[in-house]
Amino acid sequence: MYNATEQFAELNKASVAQATKLAALAIENAEKFARLNLSAAKVALAQGVEGATAVTTVKDVQDLMAIRARYAETGVQAALGYSKSLYEMASEAQAQYSALAEEAWSAYSKGLASWVEKASKAAPAGSDVGFNALRSTVAATTAAFDQFQKATKQVVNLADASVRAAAANASKVAPKGRRAA
């Protein structure tokens, strides 16, 4: 026999489970970003101390210019490395959130389809037209979401390829532009 209360309770349990997964994923990614930023701050501090120490050994303008060029190049490389790590972490997080959304949508649409099916069996005679319309709406919504998801993946892949190409070009060009000191 059809029991709407039990079915809604199951849907609510699934929603709570998805919210818990989302919160855990958000905390995990926040920790990753915090570790990256802390590591970058430590590297920047170490490079600053090293640069200040190197400046104390300067004997002439040539030494100063060489130190300046060396630390400018090191700074550019560190910034590129940080940006690359940040982008990779953001891309990974986006993929995790997308997978979680896909999982949630799949569970929701299966649950909704199951609910419609069970409700239609328990419905009074003559309500077939309404339930067929509801089934059709659920199927159309699922198909639309699938198309949206495919289009989103294509855009993300295109953006990812563009960013990676730009980063590769920047890492090739930046050191050469900084060595002319």
- Longest CA pairwise span in the chain (Å): 98
Q: Could you tell me how far CA 16 lies from the centroid of its own chain?
A: 22
pLDDT for the residue 20: 94
The domain tally of the chain equals 1
User: Percent of the chain having pLDDT more than 90?
Assistant: 28
Which amino acid is residue 100, in one-letter code?
A: L
Tokens of 175: 């050191």
The range of the structural domain enclosing residue 32 comes to 4-178
* Confidence (pTM): 0.69
Query: Which tops the pLDDT comparison, 107 or 47?
Result: 47
Contact 112, 138 (CB under 8 A): yes
DSSP-derived secondary structure letter, 1: -
pLDDT for the residue 10: 80
The pLDDT mean for the chain works out to 84
Q: pLDDT, tens digit, for every residue of 64-103?
A: 899 999 999 898 889 989 998 999 999 899 999 989 988 8
Q: Determine the Cα–Cα distance for residues 98 and 144; give it in Å rounded to an integer.
A: 16
Q: pLDDT, tens digit, for every residue of 160-180?
A: 888 778 777 776 765 544 444
Contact 127, 98 (CB under 8 A): no
Q: pLDDT, tens digit, for every residue of 134-163?
A: 888 888 888 888 888 888 888 888 888 887
| Beta-carbon-side half-sphere exposure of residue 30 (alpha carbons within 13 Å) | 6
pLDDT for the residue 134: 82
Owner of token pair 């239609």: 120
